Amino acid sequence: MENPLLSAFTTPFGVPPFDLIKESHYLPAFREAIRQHSEEIDRICQNPAPANFSNTIEAFDYSGRALDQVAAVFFNQLGTSTNEEMQRISNEMAPELSRHQDSIFLNSQLFERIKDVWESEACESLQPEQNRLVNETYKDFVQGGANLSAEDKESLGRINEELSLLTLTFGENVLAETNDFKLILETGADLEGLPDSVRSGAASAAREEGLEGKWLFTLHKPSFIPFMQYSLCRDLREKLFGAYINRSNRNNAHDNKELINKIITLRIKRSHLLGYRTFADYSLEDNMAKNPANVEALLKQVWAAAIPAAKKETTDLKDMALRMDGLQELKPWDWWFYSEKLRKERYDLDDEMLRPYFRLETVIEGAFKVASELYELKIKELQNIPLPYPEARCYEICDPDNSHLGILYMDFYPRASKESGAWMSNFREQWRVSSTKVTPVVTNVFNFTKPTPERPSLLNFDEVTTLFHEFGHGLHSLLSDCTYKSLSGTNVPRDFVELPSQFMENWAFEPQILRMFARHYETGEVIPDHLIEKIRVSRHFNQGFATVEYLSAALLDLAYHSLSEETTINPPAFEAETMRKIGMLPEIVTRYRSTFFNHIFSGGYSAGYYSYIWSEVLDADAFEAFRETGLFDKKTAKSFRDNILSKGNIEDPRNLFKRFRGREPEIAPLLRKRGLIPDPTI
């Protein structure tokens, strides 16, 4: 039987034939796709004609389509539906894929042809997108080691291969630690303070584990956060919190401390080989920030505004803890609990009052309505189409004239085989072959509260904004209109990629938007104005905590990747010293402790976790353009689509933003948005 991963997909819209793909298909598909890609590269190198844009740069960008197809399916499924066999395949393929990539980027013959085109005067006559592709391709090869000596190339290859395995193992360890911990409660006294919805979800989770009559809480956010917010059992909050912040830091088989040492050491070696003082210098060169000094300057500017707010919040929570329970000292596992109590006291608002209006289906409807109003999109759910997971849902996105833009999958609920968090990815990216547009196949992945026999999936407001956020990433890919795959969609600098996603979050706070979709799941009643007003006036509540919690993680990332010399690191001690230097408050724990900081040790955000706040400067400023002209002003929306969403990386992102906004970005909108300076709208 022909391997379905290596065939042209004949499914509707060319989505992967998930129903035909078996685990046994992956290894042979990977190896055949690598062989085909190697042959394509060899043909470029052996071409007797002088190197030009078409036979070298464009040919390189079009190469490797089979490998892209196999890898996209495998790695997306690895993140959402993993098992021992999938992990075995990933561990076997990681060094092979690393060697294959190095065989390309360290290929002297190929690089000479690329360099010939880059140096050619003919580049001046190319179209802007073509010129951008030449420059980006050349830079990728230089940063990949193409200018190194043969000996250094060999060293770099060994480093890359080892890093590919270490980062993979880091993520596997975090997933194992997250799944391993279970807080099983057996008596009603242990449930004191928990709302009925939280108890129901915990009982349902216990039944799934064969624990009838008990209640199960885990380290997955939909289980962890409500328990921390509402449980009156302080000792149990401490136990759950301790398990959460000590993942992969328990000196067991899934401990990540030594892996961090090895990863940082290898990244320093890699940077030195490539001529950079630190990994941060290497990583940031092509980002909007350009260098670590610019990143640090932004982080410290926001930190200086956030610390006074966080200190004021700490004082308020200590006063409440003393008044309510006689507590003399506030601990990190108390923060969620007392902040929820204070929010209720101050604004008569808590998550449980809002959940009934945020049924998952209506929140999806709301995000889609915003996109439809802004960009006149048509979005419809598809049936009878292969799904990556049985619970996933699939949507077609079209322009007003019914021209097909792309496919969007959504996968909503936690499971043991799925990484925690939320993200967007592609099963296929957008590009053009001749005049034919290849449309994207996008996936949004979440970990929302599961429905129970008693209630549908009801989201808290943070989860509402998460759905809008990931859908914003999806729109960035779905509305891409580029020629070359390596420049399309979300293939942009790391500190620009969060702009479309964080921009979408703003809409979820707007009264006009909330009235469009927030309806009571039982009565159908539109969310009342008094609750909308509570959301509006409480928007800045706890933002000192949220900002400090995030910034501390970004500064920790920068500290690790600003190390210039190889040394033995004790991650908990390094982390503690970094927190001491920045003046971290003892009542707050950094958002990601080192040993489960997947973004920087297993994902693509190494020396880049700052990018969320950098992009938030852009998104807050961009959203103010809509406040100035109208939330659904067609001209402003068209400009945002034409200058930001459709352009990918075909131009310097700073120029794209300036073309949309008419000026350089300003930081004041961000500080107002987070309540760190006065906001006249609140």
What is the overall mean pLDDT for the chain? Answer: 96
Write out the DSSP string of 44-55: HHH--SPP-III
Average pLDDT over residues 331-357: 96
User: Is 628 within 8 Å of 514 (Cβ atoms)?
Assistant: no
Res. 1: pLDDT tops 70: no
Q: Which two tokens stand for residue 55?
A: 């036979």
**pLDDT (tens digit, 9 = 90+) per residue, 432-478?**
998 899 999 999 999 998 998 889 999 999 999 999 999 999 999 99
In this prediction, residue 488 carries a pLDDT of 98
Average pLDDT over residues 42-63: 98
Res. 4: pLDDT tops 70: yes
**pLDDT (tens digit, 9 = 90+) per residue, 213-257?**
999 999 999 999 999 999 999 999 999 999 999 999 999 999 999
Give CA–CA dist 72/15, Å, rounded. 11
In this prediction, residue 434 carries a pLDDT of 85
Catalytic residues: 470
**pLDDT (tens digit, 9 = 90+) per residue, 401-441?**
999 999 999 999 999 999 989 999 999 999 999 889 999 99
Res. 30: pLDDT tops 70: yes
Give CA–CA dist 319/313, Å, rounded. 10
Give CA–CA dist 75/106, Å, rounded. 24
pLDDT band at residue 574, thresholds of 50, 70 and 90?
Answer: very high
Amino acid residing at 295: V
123-158 core/surface letters (b: 16 or more CB in 10 A; e: else): beebeebbbbbbebbbeebbbbbbbbeeeebeebbe
CA-derived radius of gyration, the chain: 25
Of the chain, the percentage scoring pLDDT greater than 90 comes to 96
In this prediction, residue 322 carries a pLDDT of 97
Amino acid residing at 566: E
pLDDT band at residue 590, thresholds of 50, 70 and 90?
Answer: very high
Confidence (pTM): 0.95
In this prediction, residue 435 carries a pLDDT of 81
Same fold for the pair 4-147 and 356-537+611-673: no
pLDDT band at residue 335, thresholds of 50, 70 and 90?
Answer: very high
Report which of 285, 269, 264 is spatially closest to residue 142, judged by C-alpha positions: 285
Average pLDDT over residues 263-269: 98
Res. 682: pLDDT tops 80: no
In this prediction, residue 124 carries a pLDDT of 84
In this prediction, residue 394 carries a pLDDT of 98
In this prediction, residue 454 carries a pLDDT of 86
Q: Which two tokens stand for residue 426?
A: 């592609």
User: Is 671 within 8 Å of 624 (Cβ atoms)?
Assistant: no
Res. 296: pLDDT tops 90: yes
In this prediction, residue 55 carries a pLDDT of 98
The hierarchical CATH code for the domain 356-537+611-673 is 1.10.1370.40
Give CA–CA dist 170/593, Å, rounded. 13
Three-class DSSP labels, 352-405: HHHHHHEEHHHHHHHHHHHHHHHHCCEEEEECCCCCCCCCCEEEEEECCCCCEE
**pLDDT (tens digit, 9 = 90+) per residue, 79-113?**
999 999 999 999 999 999 999 999 999 999 999 99
Topology of the domain comprising 4-147: Glutathione S-transferase Yfyf (Class Pi); Chain A, domain 2 (1.20.1050)
Q: What is the crossing angle of helices 653-661 and 611-629, to 10°?
A: 20
Average pLDDT over residues 579-603: 97
Domain chopping of the chain, boundaries = 4-147, 181-245, 284-349+543-601, 356-537+611-673
Average pLDDT over residues 508-534: 97
In this prediction, residue 677 carries a pLDDT of 86
Average the pLDDT over each of 85-89, 145-149, 265-269, 433-437 and give the range with the smallest value: 433-437
Work out the number of other CB atoms within 10 angstroms of the CB of residue 51. Answer: 21
Read off φ and ψ for residue 235, nearest 5 degrees: -65, -35
Q: SS3 helix, strand, coil % of the chain, rounded to 5?
A: 60, 5, 30
In this prediction, residue 122 carries a pLDDT of 85
How many alpha carbons fall within 13 Å on the CB side of residue 613?
28
In this prediction, residue 678 carries a pLDDT of 84
Question: C-alpha angle 69/70/71, rounded to 5°?
Answer: 95
